[in-house]
Amino acid sequence: MDENPGLSEEYRMASPWPLFVALGLPIAEVGILFGLVPLAVGGLVLFCGAIAGILREAEYAASGWRALAALSLVIAGGGLALLYADGATESDLVVRAYSMVGAGVLMFVGGVGGELFARDAEPAI
Amino acid sequence: MEITGQLLLTVLMGAFLLGVAAFLARVEEWRSYTPLGAGGGAVGESGYGHAEKPAGLIRWFTTVDHKDIGLLYGAYATIAFVVGGLMVMLMRAELTTPATDVLGSATFYNSLLTSHGITMLFLFGTPIIAAFANYLVPLIIGADDMAFPRINAIAFWLLPPAALLIWAGFFPLPDVLPAQTAWTMYAPLSAGVGNGTQANVGVDLMLLGLHLSGVSATMGAINFIATIFTERAEEVSWANLDIFSWTILTQSGLILFAFPLLGSALVMLLLDRNFGTTFFAVEGGGPILWQHLFWFFGHPEVYILVLPPMGIISYVLPRFAGRKLFGFKFVVYSTLAIGVLSFGVWAHHMFSTGIDPRLRASFMAVSLAIAIPSAVKTFNWITTMWNGKIRLTTPMLFCIGFVSNFVIGGVTGVFLASIPVDLVLHDTYYVVGHFHYIVMGAITFAGMAGIYYWFPLVTGRWYQRSLAKAHFWLWMIGTNITFFAMVLLGYGGMPRRYATYLPQFATLHQVATLGAFMLFVGGIIWIYNVFVSWMEGARVESGDPWRLEATNLNTAEWDWFDTKRETSLAATDGGEDVQTDGGQESQRDS
């Protein structure tokens, strides 16, 4: 590969987040499908965290922390839906439901905490 | 025991997340001294080098540049091709004798068979097309990059985990067996019912991996559609959009309708397997429902895989025929026609399942109708070459090989589309021979035509011509030996998917294995040639290495290449490291 700039190479072309979106999704999928709590929670945190990072980087969200908190509500909502579905089926969905709710709570705390405490570490607007 | 396992998993997951956080913190720091911003001009002060990208390995992990991602797709597809190829070499070795003398186990053969199909279709076929499309479409249509560069990167990075999940059964994990469902994953076998081993976690992991690769393909397709619609340069109108972008656009449309359906069907299958639903159980939706859903995805998938390679052929072949593509408009129309018709033919895979004969007849009619746009393309390629000034370069050889193999693969397919013939040949090696003429003889040949044609563009160097031609001839002869033997095996009644067979089939199976070894040797030559030439091949001396200007057949990506060369020559004060081989190499491959 020629290391010299060509025509379309004159703006910044790197982002750390896509790799972790792509890692978080399968880890979360495996964790939720097989009811492995650490993988489910960790994968969801990685997945949503990286999405929040992308949203901030692409300036779709003013703050990555707030984006994370918003995503946490979706995940917790999904967990609650699973909890509701658990009553309707013979399958055991409780562990999966709680790991999603748990991941949601973790991310919400992280998002709100980050918004309150970490904001000033970033360059002022 | 259970608690210790969970604890270990928790610690590992925690450590991994900490590692990610540390990595991100480091990247943030690196970012703080280089300006960031969409569209901001951040060229480094030195004037050359990738000031807009971090160095070393991190560049590849963080890149959102369409060319880098194209190269990543290419490297990934190459690895998958090697893995899938080695799997089939084991299978072909096994099939040299009627009993399971070589592998010693029919279940291992079944696992290889399943994994070979899925690897080649989802981990090699789709990604190698994405490699070409990512690298070239933005250059050809004059876009700065893909419409969504980060989604582009996500789509790529979903693939390595997908491959690991699909191959997980082969790794030495306790209680994880490889799937033996074949790539079609027919219920009830794939639903894990009965006394077999297919309720195993390995099958779940394979289904998850397949699901991920589908998500990746869908994200890529959305990106290509958006890019081709919105990012074209002003001078690129719909009327003069190139044929390769047309096929990528059509393919992306097919992906958009086909892959989400595969994803949903896979989720339903996973629910059947793990949560007691009955989508594909006899007492529920029934196993035939799976076949309908699978083939509603599966048949368009065939065209998802073949349309862009046809685009490569339509793009490359005229360059070495010295003429413009004959009937350009009709090649575009036939592409669109195939795209539309492809969704109306799925039940021709199910003629022998006992579905309603009236339905069967209508699917036969549509399937036969697809022969028309396919023939339009074939005749247009032949007519393009007719009375042309043909230059038998390696890419051109692969193009002609494509047309030749596609004719055989296509005609054998027309016969299969006919119900009475299909009822005799269904599930025999005839089918295997037919579709391998397409996937190996056509699709892979077109991929190779593209790789050799754009090798100078990507690497700035030449491949070794004699090795490339040896590769072509080994593959052309090997393909026809292997897969024509399969067509004959099918006429003889040899059923597909079996590890063992009756002694009367031994000779043709041995012939097929001989052909497969020719493909194997050709493949090794190809890998060697690409690697060595990339490192130390003769440098390209001009911005028009294929001398397309002479026939007025130059295309936009070579203009880009020319400009890039000039920029880099200026940046290095005349270019010390550009060797002067006196124009000799520009004739190397003519």
Phi and psi (nearest 5°) for B424? -80, -40
Average pLDDT over residues B396-405: 97
Query: Residue B6: pLDDT band by 50, 70, 90 thresholds?
Result: confident
Q: Which of residues 106-165 of B touch A (CB under 8 A)?
A: 138-139, 143-145, 149-151, 153-154, 156-158, 160-162, 165
Say if residue A62 is exposed, middle or buried (CB neighbours under 10 Å; 0-12, 13-18, 19+).
exposed
> In this predicted structure, what is the pLDDT of residue A120?
58
**B270–A21 C-beta distance less than 8 A:** no
Please give the distance of CA B281 from its chain centroid, rounded to a whole number: 33
Note whether residue B10 is domain-resident. no
With CA atoms as reference, report the closest residue to B317 among B404, B408, B407, B398. B398
For B481-492, how does the pLDDT look when each residue is reduced to its tens digit (9 = 90+)? 999 999 999 999
Average pLDDT over residues B59-78: 94
Residues of A in contact with B50 (CB under 8 A): 3, 5, 9
From B127's Cα to the closest Cα of chain A, the distance in A is 16
In chain A, the percentage of residues whose pLDDT exceeds 90 is 63
**pLDDT of B44 higher than 50:** no
Query: What are the distances in angstroms from CA A101 to CA A92, B12, B275, B378?
Result: 16, 21, 20, 57
Task: Quote ipTM for the complex.
Answer: 0.88
Phi and psi (nearest 5°) for B366? -65, -40
With CA atoms as reference, report the closest residue to B207 among B226, B189, B231, B230. B189
**A20–B20 C-beta distance less than 8 A:** yes
**B39–A34 C-beta distance less than 8 A:** no
Note whether residue B22 is domain-resident. no
Note whether residue A82 is domain-resident. yes
Number of domains making up chain A:
1
Residue among A8, A9, A21 whose CB faces B154 most closely: A21
For B484-524, how does the pLDDT look when each residue is reduced to its tens digit (9 = 90+)? 999 999 999 999 999 999 999 999 999 999 999 999 999 99
Among B20-24, B47-51, B273-277, B319-323, the range of highest mean pLDDT: B319-323
For B246-259, how does the pLDDT look when each residue is reduced to its tens digit (9 = 90+)? 999 999 999 999 99
Note whether residue A124 is domain-resident. no
Please state which of the ranges A74-83, B17-26, B246-255, B444-453 shows the lowest mean pLDDT.
B17-26
DSSP B428: B
* Per-residue buried b or exposed e for B469-483, using 16+ beta carbons within 10 Å of the residue's own CB: bbbbebbbebbbbbb
For B96-145, how does the pLDDT look when each residue is reduced to its tens digit (9 = 90+)? 999 999 998 999 999 999 999 999 999 999 999 999 999 999 999 999 99
Number of domains making up chain B:
1
| Residue ranges making up the domain that contains B220 | 63-544+551-558
Residues of B in contact with A124 (CB under 8 A): none
Note whether residue A39 is domain-resident. yes
Q: Identify any residues that bridge with A11 across adjacent strands, giving them in sequence order.
A: B41
**pLDDT of A9 higher than 60:** no
Average pLDDT over residues B216-222: 97
**A38–B50 C-beta distance less than 8 A:** no
> In this predicted structure, what is the pLDDT of residue B583?
39
Q: Which of residues 185-244 of B touch A (CB under 8 A)?
A: 201, 204-205, 208-209, 211-212, 215
Note whether residue B576 is domain-resident. no
> In this predicted structure, what is the pLDDT of residue B572?
61
Note whether residue A44 is domain-resident. yes
In chain B, the percentage of residues whose pLDDT exceeds 70 is 92
From A57's Cα to the closest Cα of chain B, the distance in A is 9
CATH at B509: 1.20.210.10
User: From the CB of residue B420, how many other CB atoms can be counted at a distance below 10 Å?
Assistant: 9
Residues of B in contact with A125 (CB under 8 A): none
Residues of B in contact with A40 (CB under 8 A): none
Please state which of the ranges A27-36, B32-41, B182-191, B256-265 shows the lowest mean pLDDT.
B32-41
| Residue ranges making up the domain that contains A44 | 18-118
DSSP string, B465-504: HHHHHHHHHHHHHHHHHHHHHHHHHHHHTPBTT-S---GG
* B20 close contact with A: CB closer than 8 A: yes
Average pLDDT over residues B191-211: 92
Pick the more confident residue, B360 or B40. B360
The three-state DSSP-derived secondary structure of B213-243 is: HHHHHHHHHHHHHHHHHHCCCCCCCCCCCCH
DSSP A115: I
Q: Taking the CA atoms of B50, B52, B57 and B60 in sequence, report the sign of the dihedral they define.
A: negative
Distance in angstroms (rounded) separating the CA atoms of residues B126 and B304: 8
Note whether residue A57 is domain-resident. yes
**pLDDT of B331 higher than 70:** yes
Query: Residue B27: pLDDT band by 50, 70, 90 thresholds?
Result: confident
Please state which of the ranges A33-37, B193-197, B408-412 shows the lowest mean pLDDT.
B193-197
**pLDDT of B301 higher than 90:** yes
Predicted TM-score (pTM) of the model is: 0.91
**pLDDT of B436 higher than 50:** yes
* B54 close contact with A: CB closer than 8 A: yes
Distance in angstroms (rounded) separating the CA atoms of residues B358 and B196: 36
The tokens describing B307, both together, are 């349309």
Query: Residue B238: pLDDT band by 50, 70, 90 thresholds?
Result: very high
Residues of A in contact with B563 (CB under 8 A): 6-7
Pick the more confident residue, B253 or B34. B253
**A14–B53 C-beta distance less than 8 A:** yes
Note whether residue B104 is domain-resident. yes
Residue among A7, A22, A39 whose CB faces B161 most closely: A22
In chain A, which residue's Cα lies nearest the Cα of B59?
Answer: A14
Note whether residue A37 is domain-resident. yes
Note whether residue A106 is domain-resident. yes
**B35–A7 C-beta distance less than 8 A:** no
> In this predicted structure, what is the pLDDT of residue B582?
40
**A1–B52 C-beta distance less than 8 A:** no
**pLDDT of B34 higher than 90:** no
Query: What are the distances in angstroms from CA B85 to CA B114, B301, B531?
Result: 13, 21, 18
> In this predicted structure, what is the pLDDT of residue A12?
60
Note whether residue B587 is domain-resident. no
DSSP string, B82-93: HHHHHHHHHHHH
From A10's Cα to the closest Cα of chain B, the distance in A is 6
**B24–A16 C-beta distance less than 8 A:** yes
Cα torsion A55, A60, A63, A68 to 10°: value is: -40
- Considering chain B, what is the average pLDDT of its residues? 91
Pick the more confident residue, B92 or B195. B92
